[in-house]
Amino acid sequence: MTTSDLTSDRLAAFFDSAPDAILVVDEDGTVVRANERVSDLFGYDPAELEDEKIERLVPRADREEHPGLRREYMENPESRPMGAGLDLRARRKDGSTFPVDVSLSPVEGNDRREVIAVVRDVSEQEKLRRKYRTLVEIAPDAVFIAEADTGEIVEVNQRAAELLSTAKEDLVGRDQTDLHPAEDAERYQELFRRHVEEKQVTADRFENGDDLYVETEDGERVPVEISVQVTRLTEREVIIGLFRDVSKRRAYERDLHRQIDRLETLAHVLSHDLRNPLNVAMGGVTTAKRTGDVDHLDRVERAHARIEEMVEDALTMVRDGYDVEAVEPIDLGSLVEECWRHVETADTELRVAEEGIVYADSRRIRNLFENLFRNAVEHAGHDVTVEVGVDEDGFYVADDGPGIPPENREDLFEPGWTTGDDNTGLGTNIVSEIATAHDWEVAVAESEAGGARFEFTGVRTARYDDSFADEHDPDTPSGTGPGT
């Protein structure tokens, strides 16, 4: 194509009536010809621009750099369509500037290389882009925008960076599967493809019920709900994903399921476990009435005491729950002695082997020790010796009873599990739940005497020694002592 071709009637009509401003520029940057649209776009009559340098239409801040860019292009000219993704601005006659999109087409004319530049005002598109970016940035959720065909992330907002504990620029250019746990990359890739096909969907789990996660720079996994919309943005198809942190929702669901389990266990206690001591009590009363022998009422008294224990366990589980309200330093020796007095221990013996401080919720840890002491008396007998001590990573409760067989230790903390007909099976479950609420680990082993040993680890403790005693009164411990 040559500039002489523009003299044909058809091309001349197109040149003059085109909706965009068209300028023909030679290799020296001089405007050879301009159509009438430049008047509307730039405020110049076409004749005013002809024989002028194209830099007249370039903002002052860019004029110094523009000739070099122009010469570089002329050395190796090639067509550049609209929508090339460049951030370009033009200058009007009155000095104001505005955003433009420019297509370039090299031509040969009069033995000189020339370029046809088609200039389009994109002010409205720019307003829409700014509005879109504002909406993205103020969105309450993390926003990830990715190429629909490749999965490459092209834009994120600040909340996305905060969700992943990284910088925004570190996310742009990465593949969308990088947001998720690496071992499940194929599953997330398939999920991405399915979302692109479905165009609009919200999901917080895989089809098999597994949670959806993102993985932070620190390796933390955060459960998320993902809402996606496939749309076209600047001439390309993208998928816009809104990621919502559902950690609190999952915690609520877990708490709700735990409460449901507790209520089901309570229903079991009320409908089944209480019947045995009730039947014993009713039998004792009937026999006492029939024979007149009040010694049979001893069975009634024992049955009522057992019922009271069952009710207390059930109330602890359902009414109080296990949530930790406040953690404070507690003197272990004073605590266990107080709990020991609240349990019918008969001829049993309590021994505090290693004294110190345990950081815990005082109300919950009392429930824990009382249940362990009651459990020891019930299963090991009334002549059992119970030992309690603090170690570097927690504390323990051990006895010299018959112990717990290894095959039963795994099921020991399940609600309702028991080896005795007169037990609710709630005591050790309450112990486990209280430990979990404190983020402790609890395990059952064999004590040195061959009995049961409950070990609690991951506990903040402080053992009493000479240096500790110099700074702390054991009867009134403070929270400033050493701890592990």
Give me the DSSP letters along 222-245: EEEEEEEEEEEETTEEEEEEEEEE
- Per-residue pLDDT band at 83 (split at 50, 70, 90): low
What pLDDT is recorded for position 466? 45
Distance CA 9, CA 394 (A): 94
Per-residue pLDDT, averaged over 338-352, amounts to 80
| CA R_g for the chain | 40
What pLDDT is recorded for position 457? 95
Q: Check pLDDT > 50 for residue 78.
A: yes
What pLDDT is recorded for position 79? 85
Q: Check pLDDT > 60 for residue 196.
A: yes
Phi, psi of 304 (to 5 degrees): -65, -35
- Per-residue pLDDT band at 418 (split at 50, 70, 90): low
What pLDDT is recorded for position 135? 74
- Per-residue pLDDT band at 271 (split at 50, 70, 90): low
What pLDDT is recorded for position 454? 94
Determine contact, residues 137/128, Cβ cutoff 8 Å: no
Secondary structure in 3-state letters for the chain: CCHHHHHCHHHHHHHHHCCCEEEEEECCCEEEEECCHHHHHHCCCHHHHCCCEHHHHCCHHHHCCHHHHHHHHHHCCCCECCCCCCCEEEECCCCCEEEEEEEEEEEEECCEEEEEEEEEECHHHHHHHHHHHHHHHHCCCEEEEEECCCCEEEEECHHHHHHHCCCHHHCCCCEHHHHCCHHHHHHHHHHHHHHHHHCEEEECECCCCCECEEECCCCCEEEEEEEEEEEEECCEEEEEEEEEECHHHHHHHHHHHHHHHHHHHHHHHHHHHCHHHHHHHHHHHHHHHHHCCHHHHHHHHHHHHHHHHHHHHHHHHHHHCCCCCCCEEEEHHHHHHHHHHCCCCCCCEEEEEECEEEEECHHHHHHHHHHHHHHHHHHHCCCCEEEEEEECCEEEEEECCCCCCHHHHCCCCCCCCCCCCCCCCCHHHHHHHHHHHCCCEEEEEECCCCCEEEEEECCCEEECCHHHHHHCCCCCCCCCCCCC
Determine contact, residues 410/429, Cβ cutoff 8 Å: no
The yes or no reply on domain 3-121 and CATH 3.90.550.10 is no
- Per-residue pLDDT band at 476 (split at 50, 70, 90): very low
Per-residue pLDDT, averaged over 378-393, amounts to 84
Locate 141 and state its tokens.
């959720």
The fraction of the chain above a pLDDT of 70, given in percent, is 82
Classify 239 in phi/psi space as left (phi over 0), alpha (psi -120 to 50) or beta: beta
132-137-142 Cα angle (round to 5): 115
Q: Check pLDDT > 90 for residue 413.
A: no
Least confident of 227-236, 286-295, 304-313: 304-313
Fold matches, 126-245 and 322-471: no
What is the average pLDDT value for the chain, to the nearest integer? 82
Q: Check pLDDT > 80 for residue 188.
A: yes
Per-residue pLDDT, averaged over 156-172, amounts to 91
Per-residue pLDDT, averaged over 365-372, amounts to 86
Q: Check pLDDT > 50 for residue 470.
A: no
Determine contact, residues 213/221, Cβ cutoff 8 Å: yes
- Per-residue pLDDT band at 363 (split at 50, 70, 90): confident
Per-residue pLDDT, averaged over 408-429, amounts to 63
For residues 110 and 429, the model is more confident at 429
The fold adopted by the segment(s) 322-471 is: Heat Shock Protein 90 (3.30.565)
Alpha carbon 470 to its chain's center: 45
Q: Name the nearest CA neighbour of 359 among 440, 436, 482, 461.
A: 461
What pLDDT is recorded for position 165? 92
Distance CA 225, CA 202 (A): 7
For residues 21 and 131, the model is more confident at 21
Class of domain 126-245 as given by CATH: alpha beta
Least confident of 130-134, 291-295, 395-399, 414-418: 414-418
Q: pTM of the predicted model, to two decimals?
A: 0.49
Domain limits of the chain?
3-121, 126-245, 322-471
- Per-residue pLDDT band at 459 (split at 50, 70, 90): very high
Q: Check pLDDT > 50 for residue 375.
A: yes
Determine contact, residues 46/34, Cβ cutoff 8 Å: yes
Distance CA 123, CA 127 (A): 6
